[in-house]
Structure 1
Amino acid sequence: MSEKKLGFGLMRLPSLDPNDPGKIDIEQVKKMVDTFIERGFTYFDTAWMYCAFKSENAVKEALVSRHPRDSFTLTTKLHSSFVNSFEDRDRIFNEQMEKTGVTYFDYYLIHDINCHSIETYNKFDCFGWIRDKKEKGLVKHIGFSFHDGPELLDEVLTAHPEFEFVQLQLNYLDWESAGVQSRKCYEVAEKHGVPVFVMEPVKGGTLANVPEEVTKLFKDYNPEASVPSWAIRFAASLPNVKIVLSGMSDMDQLLDNTSYMQDFKPLNDEEKALIKKATDIINASIDIPCTGCSYCTDGCPMQIAIPKYFSLYNADMQELRGRGISPDEGWTPQSEYYENVAKHFGKASACIQCGQCEGVCPQHLPIIEYLQTVAKHFERE
């Protein structure tokens, strides 16, 4: 395992064309990679489909062909969307080795296990397949990334004790989120004795673009610390977290992240209290002021997971605003969580407007109207 807790996520690389992530600014990436390694960091994370399927090629050009193999660790992943046969597993893996130019991967992940994708992974025995890659020395450490609830995570880790780590979406805004449930998932991993690698610590940029009140809160305490540093340090301060990935898309972000993570100091009690305060301020500006009490769900004839959907909608709107993009642009994790929850519960659009939920809501929210908003947002297709 890497000594330093910061990992370089190669999903949002600098691009020569803002409308085409595949047109990577490779010269800029080379400088960033060199600086990252010079500052003592070693962990690089890519995947088959990142940067319009060009991220792994960039790894070869900027990292593998220019630095000794023992000076870095490299991670990539197998995603269920591209596995439609037993043959696809090796075809993708072999192409990943060719694209990156390595003879082994330090870490390899089954990508994005959730209640949908696990059917594909079981159907094509991807769990046995990845164990075989490790036995042959083609992969040093095996793990999986996860976008679902703590119950499924517990099932997967119980059924597959061979996994050496799990990658979770974890940040201070999702820590107590009813939709993402970062804390509960973290605690499941901890229970199984499995280290956590963190993705989305800044929540796609949401926690870099916080309300002015939060910025002032952080700057009054430490004028030198950047706003995103609070989010990354929150994740890195958790004792069972081994790596915090940051998708760095320019040199300024890399210089900032490496500056405070070179000699990492966990949050003190005062800083933890400030983050709790910041979370409350951010949540106070949310679109649907649901407290997650779940009174509404007990008598719902359509079994709609109302508080979970509201939580995911709020999180999605915060992320979209934080990233400055419209709902029609790009993928967000919340849309996937929505589909995962909807597999077990009624979708927001299933509401028959019986009013049972509104009759018991302590906040007196217009739940029927909010469900229509959520359905329109997450069920666009």
Structure 2
Amino acid sequence: MKKLGFGGMRLPRLVENDPKSIDQAQVNEMADHFINQGFTYFDTAYPYHQGLSEGAFKKAVVDRYPREAFLLADKMPTFSVFKTEDYERFFNEQLERCGVEYFDYYLLHNLGEKNYASSVKLGGFEFMKKLKEEGKAKHIGFSFHDKAELLDEILTKHPEMEFVQLQLNYIDWESESIQSRKCYEVARKHNKPVIVMEPIKGGGLANPPEKAQELFKAYNKEMSYASWAIRYVASLEGVMMVLSGMNSFNQLKDNTAYMSDFKPLNEEEKEIILKVVDIINESIAIPCTNCQYCVDDCPKKINIPAYFSVYNSYHLYGDRNFPAMHYDRQSHGRGKASECIECKACERHCPQHILITEKLKLVAGAFEK
């Protein structure tokens, strides 16, 4: 199985700001090229393109190719499940939307603290095991955007989950809010194959700063910036698939070209990536090093470094990577940025001499509108 997957969250559109205006003709053309190049994995979900992504893949793939020609992954919308009966209802609707009798890979979608608790309470894991036993899901797993500690808990308590889908990319590798490396290491500890989402950080790494572009082009002027990001995660041990939300035929042609005969990053390329990370980090809005010195004495228990990490990502990449969702996750059980009382205990401990109370106002303004 080739390691590139066709993600259905950012399909080409006829009208740029209308997610429902899927360019079906272009999706069909892209699916044809994808399959003709030997790729098979298509990934969709119930809410993508306001509920139309599943149908777009039905038209492009399911209706036009034999079932054995492709692998289809879909996800249970855990955030919309409020009673146990909802699992069956959503799943049957997804089978109909996609026009299939089974999914090759089926996931509990977006297991964070809240959705995990709900899935435990309402029997989500039991439902997944039932699907596997009945042959309606060949492989079961979950997607995850939260702390590594929670991921470890889920995989410990639910070893029946066969794989995990994680946000991994070279700029989030050491991020305190995303915790790419930490989550990857937990998956490796539990010996679970990893499917990668957001390898290009919502498209942000396809257009890095000019100094980074110069480094990439000096090494190989033919390689796209996106190719560095995808090959970075595809080179990690235990990664079985890298999803790319390709929204044009040109993007798909580029990705399939270098992933058809995938070659892991060599040592020189890895060093270039490290330099690019430094270049990108130089342009961050808040120069926080995540030393955690500011946290201990905060009377409101504000997770300052995590908020700064989310804000820096937002400053660099805008709304591409759901920063509001990541901000909300950091605030569970902790004070929000707006709850700062300006006692400045944090600033007295900050070795970077950041005006933390002022920066928290920026964070609150961005995410507590």
Q: With the length of structure 1 as denominator, give the TM-score of the two structures.
A: 0.95
1:123 CA displacement: 2.1
2:81 is the alignment partner of 1:92 = no
Q: Secondary structure at the match of 1:113?
A: coil
What is the identity, as a one-letter code, of the residue corresponding to 1:224?
Answer: E
- In percent, how many aligned pairs have the same letter? 56
The count of residues paired between Structure 1 and Structure 2 equals: 369
> Counterpart in 2 of 1:238?
236
Note the residue ranges of structure 1 that are not aligned, 5 or more in a row.
Answer: 321-326
Deviations 1:130-184 (A, max 9, x none): 1101100000000000000100000000000001100000000000111111000
Instruction: Pick from 343, 355, 362 the counterpart of residue 351 of structure 2.
Output: 362
Contact kept? 1:167, 1:199, Cα under 8 Å: yes
1:49-60 equivalent positions in 2, closer than 5 A: 49-60=47-58
Contact kept? 2:200, 2:229, Cα under 8 Å: yes
1:16-27 equivalent positions in 2, closer than 5 A: 16-27=14-25
Contact kept? 1:15, 1:24, Cα under 8 Å: yes
d(CA) in 2 for partners of 1:191, 1:119: 23
What is the identity, as a one-letter code, of the residue corresponding to 1:359?
Answer: R
Contact kept? 1:108, 1:143, Cα under 8 Å: yes
> Counterpart in 2 of 1:146?
144
> Counterpart in 2 of 1:298?
296
d(CA) in 2 for partners of 1:303, 1:107: 40
What is the identity, as a one-letter code, of the residue corresponding to 2:267?
Answer: D
2:337 is the alignment partner of 1:348 = yes
d(CA) in 2 for partners of 1:233, 1:254: 15
What is the identity, as a one-letter code, of the residue corresponding to 2:94?
Answer: Q
1:251-270 equivalent positions in 2, closer than 5 A: 251-270=249-268
Q: Secondary structure at the match of 2:171?
A: coil
> Counterpart in 2 of 1:178?
176
Once the two structures are overlaid, the 10-residue window that deviates more, 74-83 or 132-141, is: 74-83
d(CA) in 1 for partners of 2:323, 2:187: 21
Contact kept? 2:201, 2:321, Cα under 8 Å: no
Note the residue ranges of structure 2 that are not aligned, 5 or more in a row.
Answer: none
Deviations 1:332-367 (A, max 9, x none): 433222212211321111111001111111111110
What is the identity, as a one-letter code, of the residue corresponding to 1:375?
Answer: A
1:88 CA displacement: 1.4
Q: Secondary structure at the match of 2:346?
A: helix
Instruction: Pick from 68, 71, 82 the counterpart of residue 69 of structure 2.
Output: 71
Deviations 1:9-66 (A, max 9, x none): 0111111111211111111100000000000000000000101100011111110010
Once the two structures are overlaid, the 10-residue window that deviates more, 348-357 or 116-125, is: 116-125
d(CA) in 2 for partners of 1:347, 1:256: 42
d(CA) in 2 for partners of 1:123, 1:166: 21
1:164-243 equivalent positions in 2, closer than 5 A: 164-243=162-241
What is the identity, as a one-letter code, of the residue corresponding to 2:363?
Answer: V
> Counterpart in 1 of 2:116?
118
Q: Secondary structure at the match of 1:193?
A: coil
d(CA) in 2 for partners of 1:210, 1:344: 35
d(CA) in 1 for partners of 2:79, 2:349: 41
> Counterpart in 2 of 1:285?
283
Q: Secondary structure at the match of 1:143?
A: strand
Q: Secondary structure at the match of 1:116?
A: helix
Q: With the length of structure 2 as denominator, give the TM-score of the two structures.
A: 0.98
Once the two structures are overlaid, the 10-residue window that deviates more, 145-154 or 113-122, is: 113-122
d(CA) in 2 for partners of 1:183, 1:317: 22
Q: Secondary structure at the match of 2:73?
A: strand
d(CA) in 1 for partners of 2:48, 2:166: 18
Q: Secondary structure at the match of 1:204?
A: coil
Contact kept? 2:337, 2:361, Cα under 8 Å: yes
Contact kept? 2:44, 2:74, Cα under 8 Å: yes
> Counterpart in 2 of 1:10?
8
Instruction: Pick from 314, 323, 331 the counterpart of residue 334 of structure 1.
Output: 323
What is the identity, as a one-letter code, of the residue corresponding to 2:40?
Answer: T
